[in-house]
Amino acid sequence: MEPLILNAPAEAAGERLDAYLAAAVPELTRSLAQKLIRSGQVLLNGAAAAKSCRLDGGETIAVTLPEPEPIEALPENIPLDIVYEDADLIVINKPKGMVVHPAPGHASGTLVNALLYHCAGSLSGIGGAERPGIVHRIDRDTSGLLVAAKNDFAHQKLSAQLSDHSLARTYECLARGRFREDAGTVDAPIGRSPQDRKKMAVIAGGRPAVTHWRVLERFEGLTHLACRLETGRTHQIRVHLSHIGHPILGDPVYGTKKEDPNLHGQCLHASGLRLIHPRTGEAVEFHAPLPEEFTAALEKLRRIYQ
C-alpha to C-alpha distance for 200 and 160, rounded to whole angstroms: 25
Question: In Å, how far are 17, 40, 41, 269, 300 from 33, measured between CA atoms?
Answer: 8, 11, 9, 36, 46
Residue 99, SS3?
Answer: coil
- Give which of 242, 143, 266, 131 is closest to 190, Cα–Cα: 242
- Give which of 264, 235, 260 is closest to 96, Cα–Cα: 264
Tell me if residue 251 is catalytic. Answer: no
Question: In Å, how far are 101, 161, 201, 209 from 188, measured between CA atoms?
Answer: 27, 22, 10, 6
Point out the catalytic residue in the list 18, 56, 81, 139.
139
What letter represents residue 41's amino acid?
A: Q
Tallying the residues shown for the chain, one arrives at: 306
Catalytic annotation, residues:
139
